[in-house]
Chain A
Amino acid sequence: MDAIRTEALTKHYTVGFWRPRPYVALDGLTLQVQTGEVFGFLGPNGAGKTTTLKLLMQLIFPTSGRADILGKPAGDIDVKRRIGYLPENPYFYDYLTAQELLEYFASLFGYSPAERRTRASRLLDEVGIGAERRLQLRKFSKGMLQRVGIAQALINEPEVVFLDEPMSGLDPIGRREIREMILRLRDRGCTVFFSSHVLADAETLCSRVAIMAKGRLVTAGALSDMLAFQVRGWELVVSGLTDAVLAAAKARGDVMRVTMVGPARHALDLPLDPPPEKTLAALIAQGACLVSLTPIRDTLEDFFVQQVSGAGGSRFRESA
């Protein structure tokens, strides 16, 4: 059984006051996420990630299509018992403390008062909220709220967690802690579905990703399988080369571009063909010293740019 399954999930928003027109926020998303997977849901701003998560949480209702979680329709009470959700930029009650908030949420799952306290304390420890847990939430910073948001998503030891940009608003230490937490969840057998626009998060965590642009699914699969992220050249940094040698290499087509990066040190962009080993051997024979050789890949950002410029067309539908 799939942990998450959507079929042609579509959401139109009506926008415009004088001339209301449907705007396609999500367009026919069909997706399966297997149990136990860490699944990255990627895409630039406005791609429809939050819309999808809100549809899965039934905070909004689809225009058409369906969404199932753990084999049951989204919004089912039994399903709600077994999932956790972190919304984008979470916000809670001004006048509750973090501890009270988590105990309140725990109570909604029917835990006993003692159990509520231990769960709340343990999770706050885990997300790094210390003595501040006795403070009212209106005094919390953005990153602290984000941490509380992650804690509340895990209060019921969910089988599936949905995290909408879990890293947003966190400092580098916080990001690493959350990455480690997601990996711990995975080891426990929990399915994690998270949205992000940071490729690094996805690369270190995900077994599979889906990439969205303009409300449509562009591609889904393992990141390494995606053609867009294959090596498309090399960057070679060398020292001790004269301008004449470089000019000659460039003229032969071995080197595409030369950038001066320090005294007598150059960064060279090499094509895939001829192989970099050959060019490197030739340059070393002419007195070069190797500093580094790194593959150049398309970044997710490059990919976004391509897709966004590629996925043309207006997202407005003419009303019937």
Chain B
Amino acid sequence: MKVIGLVAVNVFKESVRDKVLYSIVAFAVMLMSTTYLIGQLTAGQDIKIIKDLGLASISIFGLLIAIFIGIGLVWKEVEKRSIYTLLPKPMRRQEFLLGKYFGLVLTLVINIAVMTAAFYLVLALMRLLEPGIDAVSAAPATDAAMLKAIALVVVELMLVTAIALFFSTFSSPFLSALLTAGLWVAGHFNSDLRNFGAVVASPTLAQLTRAMYYVLPNFSAFDVKSQVVHAQAVPASYVALTCAYGLTYIALVLVGAAAIFARRDFK
């Protein structure tokens, strides 16, 4: 158990020293700062645009980081053969994999925290410069409800990381990235799949789409960004249930990844 923590801390240490990660976060922060300018240009000073853009950048750049590090770290470890000295140390392969995963999640959470802080800073700044802004908007500028949306983004990206890790245990990084991104897109159109299943004539096709609906990760469930921005209520029970769904899915994916990883030859 302790080994998992040690491996995780090492993953984190390594990834914070990797400059690529910094540049992604720096770029995201920069983009959020410029949303202020966009807000200036649009008439009516609608703060919704800024919120939309900010939350979208957190989730897109978070996704980039999740796929990038989720696939890169295990693959690099195998490809560069650093795994040869690590695995003969007193640890099980499953512990190695879980350690990697938690290290990735730690990196992800901290990066998202940085982006979130930057996001709220931009919003607070706006409020300071234009005191009347809260009165004309549906929700206050620094609305804490947005944290709900961000929390769900975190769980969603934890799932993406788990899926990326799963693919990277047996396929090349390019293929893993493709598969993960493909699954992410498919998972976002999951509800469309159900609707599609309801209207097709062929019963086999209907069954197939229904099966896919249940098997594919339902990423759209994690997306409450627009509700939050439009000041619609997101019940705590919904957040809790979605988190539980995400964590269960993560656990299953990790079990699968560990099973493949435990049998793998490192040649």
Contacts and interface: CB of A to CB of B under 8 A. Distances in A.
Interface residues of B, number: 24
Contact of A108 (B82, B83, B89, B265): B89
B267 A149 contact: no
A77 B266 contact: no
- Chain B interface mostly helix, strand, loop or mixed? loop
Contact of B89 (A80, A86, A95): A80
Interface in B1-18: 2-3, 6, 10, 13-14, 17-18
Interface string B1-41: 01100100010011001100000000000000000000000
Interface residues of A, number: 33
A61 B85 contact: no
Given A77-B92, A109-B90, A90 B263 contact: no
A54 interface: yes
Nearest to A60: B265
B95 to A, nearest CB: 10
Nearest to A90: B85
Contact of B81 (A13, A80, A91): A91
A92 B82 contact: yes
Contact of B80 (A59, A91, A95, A149): A91
A154 to B, nearest CB: 12
Contacts of A152: 85
Interface string A103-123: 011011110000000000000
B88 A85 contact: yes
A237 interface: no
Contacts of B17: 95, 136
A93 interface: yes
B84 interface: yes
A83 interface: yes
A15 to B, nearest CB: 11
A136 B18 CA distance: 12
Contacts of B6: 104, 107-108
A58 B6 CA distance: 22
B169 to A, nearest CB: 15
A4 interface: no
Given A54-B266, A59-B265, A95-B17, A105 B2 contact: no
A161 to B, nearest CB: 11
B87 interface: yes
A81 interface: yes
Contact of A90 (B84, B90, B266): B84
A96 B2 CA distance: 20
Contacts of B18: 95
5 contacts: A83-B88, A87-B85, A96-B13, A110-B2, A136-B17
Interface of B: 2-3, 6, 10, 13-14, 17-18, 80-85, 87-92, 263, 265-267
Given A61-B263, A92-B85, A153-B85, 10 more contacts: A54-B84, A59-B266, A60-B266, A77-B90, A80-B90, A83-B88, A92-B82, A93-B10, A93-B14, A95-B14
